[in-house]
C-alpha cells in the first residue's frame, strides 16, 4: 500500500513543497501516466501534473488501475487564500511566523480513499516562499506511513486513543481557528455553516421534527460521518456543535438527526 502526494505546476504553493520533497534523498523516477509524472520513495508516490489541483478526480483509483498498487491515502499540496491575507501553514505547527490553522471541508477533487490538503497561505507573497515549502516537505515526511496520516505534532497527538469528528456549523468562512487541543484527539471533517443549508421553518420557535427541516444538511452530515468512519476504522467518533453558530431550531434539528443516526455528541472537555 502506498501514499500519494499530489502537486501541480500551476500553483507555486504546490510545486514548491514538491520540489523540496524531491530534493531530499532516495527519490527515484516513477512511471508516467495520463500526462502525470511520478516519483518513488519507499511507500510514497509523488504525482506531478499541470492541471488544477481540484480537477483531477479519482487519482487513487486511476493510480491503482495503472500500477496495481493499493492506495492508503492522498495528500494534496496547495495554496490557501483568505481575506485576512495572513501568512498561514495549515495543519502543522512549526514556523512561528505563520498562523497554523485547520480548514473546513470545502472542495474536491473526488477520491475513494482518505485525503487531505496541506496548504500555504494566504497571498502570492507567501505561496512561493522556500522556507514555507521546506516546512511543508518536512511535515509530509512526518505523516507517513498511513497510521499517522493526520499527525499534527502539537494539537493532534501521535499516540491515537480517541478519534474525533468535530465541527458542525462552525459559521463564517472556511477557516475555523484552533481546534482539538487535547492529546489523542484527531479531526475528521469540519463543516462550516454554509455547508449545512437548512430551510427556515415557518414557526422557528415551535418544536420541529428534524425531517421537517428542508435543505441538504442531513446529507452533508451523513457523508462526512461515513467518510470519517472509513478513514478511522474502530475509532470513537464524536460530533461537536459550535453552539453560537446555530439558532435554537437549527441546533434542535441537528441534535435530533445525530440521535437518529446514532452519532454521539461530545462535550467541550472532549476536545480542548
Q: What is the CATH number of the domain that holds 136?
A: 3.40.630.50
The cell for 4 is 500519494
Residues 212 and 56: their CA atoms lie apart, in Å, by 37
Residues 16 and 13: their CA atoms lie apart, in Å, by 6
- Any domain includes 240: yes
**Domain limit, last residue, from 105, 125, 148:** 148
Same domain for 13 and 137? yes
**Domain limit, last residue, from 148, 172, 197:** 148
- Any domain includes 154: no
Same domain for 18 and 58? yes
Residues 262 and 15: their CA atoms lie apart, in Å, by 42
Same domain for 182 and 231? yes
Same domain for 127 and 186? no
Q: Give the torsion through C-alpha atoms of 165, 171, 177, 183, to 10 deg.
A: -20
Structural domain boundaries, residue 39: 2-148
- Any domain includes 157: no
Contact between residue 105 and residue 190 where contact means Cβ atoms under 8 Å apart: yes
Contact between residue 192 and residue 106 where contact means Cβ atoms under 8 Å apart: yes
- Any domain includes 172: yes
- Any domain includes 155: no
List Cβ neighbours of 162 (8 Å cut-off, separation of 6 or more): 184, 185, 186, 235, 236, 238, 270
Other Cβ atoms within 10 Å of 226 Cβ, number: 11
pLDDT in tens, the chain (272 residues): 999 999 999 999 899 989 998 998 889 999 999 999 999 999 999 999 999 887 888 899 999 999 999 998 888 888 766 555 555 444 432 233 444 455 555 556 777 776 777 777 767 777 777 777 777 676 655 554 333 333 323 222 222 223 333 333 233 344 444 454 555 666 677 777 777 888 887 655 555 677 778 888 888 888 888 877 877 777 778 888 877 778 888 888 888 999 999 988 877 676 65
CB-neighbour burial class of residue 268 (10 A; exposed 0-12, middle 13-18, buried 19+)? exposed
Q: For the chain, how many structural domains are there in total? A: 2
pTM, full prediction: 0.55
pLDDT value of residue 168:
33
Amino acid at each position: 500500500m502506498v501514499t500519494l502526494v499530489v502537486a501541480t505546476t500551476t500553483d507555486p504553493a504546490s510545486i514548491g513543497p514538491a520540489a523540496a520533497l524531491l530534493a531530499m534523498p532516495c527519490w527515484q523516477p516513477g512511471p508516467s501516466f495520463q500526462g502525470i509524472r511520478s516519483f518513488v520513495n519507499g511507500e510514497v508516490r509523488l504525482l506531478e501534473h499541470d492541471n488544477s489541483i481540484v480537477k483531477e478526480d479519482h487519482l487513487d483509483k486511476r493510480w491503482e488501475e495503472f500500477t496495481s498498487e493499493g492506495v492508503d491515502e492522498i495528500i494534496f499540496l496547495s495554496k490557501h487564500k483568505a481575506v485576512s491575507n495572513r501568512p498561514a501553514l495549515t495543519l502543522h505547527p512549526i514556523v512561528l511566523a505563520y498562523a497554523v490553522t485547520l480548514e473546513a471541508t470545502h472542495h474536491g477533487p473526488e477520491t475513494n480513499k482518505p485525503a487531505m490538503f496541506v496548504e500555504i497561505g494566504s497571498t502570492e507573497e507567501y505561496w512561493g516562499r522556500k522556507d514555507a515549502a521546506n516546512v511543508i516537505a518536512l511535515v509530509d515526511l512526518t505523516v507517513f506511513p498511513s497510521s499517522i496520516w493526520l499527525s499534527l505534532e502539537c494539537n493532534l497527538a501521535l499516540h491515537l486513543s480517541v478519534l474525533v469528528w468535530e465541527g458542525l456549523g462552525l459559521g463564517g468562512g472556511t477557516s475555523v481557528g484552533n481546534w482539538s487541543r487535547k492529546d489523542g484527539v484527531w479531526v475528521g471533517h469540519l463543516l462550516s455553516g454554509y455547508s449545512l443549508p437548512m430551510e427556515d421553518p415557518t414557526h422557528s420557535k415551535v418544536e420541529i421534527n428534524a425531517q421537517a427541516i428542508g435543505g441538504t444538511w442531513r446529507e452533508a452530515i451523513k457523508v462526512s460521518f461515513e467518510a470519517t468512519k472509513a478513514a478511522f476504522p474502530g475509532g470513537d467518533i464524536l460530533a461537536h456543535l459550535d453552539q453560537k453558530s446555530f439558532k435554537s431550531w437549527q441546533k434542535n434539528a441537528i441534535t435530533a438527526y445525530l440521535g437518529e443516526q446514532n452519532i454521539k455528541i461530545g462535550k467541550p472537555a472532549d476536545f480542548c
